[in-house]
Amino acid sequence: MSHNTNKANGYDRKRGKDIFSADPMAFARRDEKAVKAMGDLEEDVKTRFGKDKKGYITPTQLRNIYDLVKRCGDISELQLLRPKLLYTAARQNKEEGKRIILAIAQAVKSIEGTEGMKAFKTFMEATVAYHKYYFPADKG
């Protein structure tokens, strides 16, 4: 395989790199790498999820995705979310919103194991929190 994959946790960092520079699997750790990943994620959301205080996707859309992720009990359930995410991406009016959801779908595809799933849930929770802070409810 020619692209950069972290074999230990199964997250393919090359795909979705234009949206997320933070490694979702770092959220499984409790050390300085986790702190750095949290800072990277905050910057990603602040700079790539919208501009001029207007988000490319709404906080509600992102929260709905997080709620689906949170309800997954095992890795197979998480993997089965991909078609829903792809459908949601296809319905986006903004190309930037579509790219964000596709990056999340690609991250889901790359997650392996229970620890990976837990880390991804934490990653998505932080993504929702930062998005809500930087892009509060968009009023159309």
In a domain, 129, yes or no: yes
Q: Which domain holds residue 44?
A: 17-134
Decide if 51 is inside a domain. yes
**Number of domain units in the chain:** 1
Q: What three-state secondary structure class fits 106?
A: helix
User: Does 76 reside within a domain?
Assistant: yes
Count of Cβ atoms closer than 10 Å to residue 112 Cβ = 16
Q: Is 3 a member of any domain?
A: no
Global model pTM greater than 0.85: no
pLDDT digits (tens, 9 = 90+) for 94-120: 899 999 999 999 999 888 899 989 999
pLDDT classification of 67: cutoffs 50, 70, 90: very high
Give a yes or no: residue 9 inside a domain.
Answer: no
Q: What is the chain's Cα-based Rg?
A: 14
- Of 12 and 18, the structure prediction assigns the larger pLDDT to 18
Residue 61 is assigned to a structural domain of this protein: yes
21-54, pLDDT tens digit by residue?
A: 777 777 776 677 777 888 888 898 988 888 877 8
Burial of 79 (C-beta count, 10 Å sphere; 0-12/13-18/19+): middle
Summary mean pLDDT of the chain:
81
Domain assignment present for 116: yes
- Mean local confidence (pLDDT), 57-79: 93
Residue 11 included in any domain: no
Collect all residues with Cβ–Cβ distance below 8 Å to 81 and sequence separation of at least 6.
68, 69, 72, 105, 108
Contact (CB, 8 A) for 84 and 64: no
Q: Give yes or no for a contact between 113 and 75, defined as CB atoms under 8 angstroms apart.
A: yes
What is the percent of the chain where pLDDT is above 90? Answer: 44
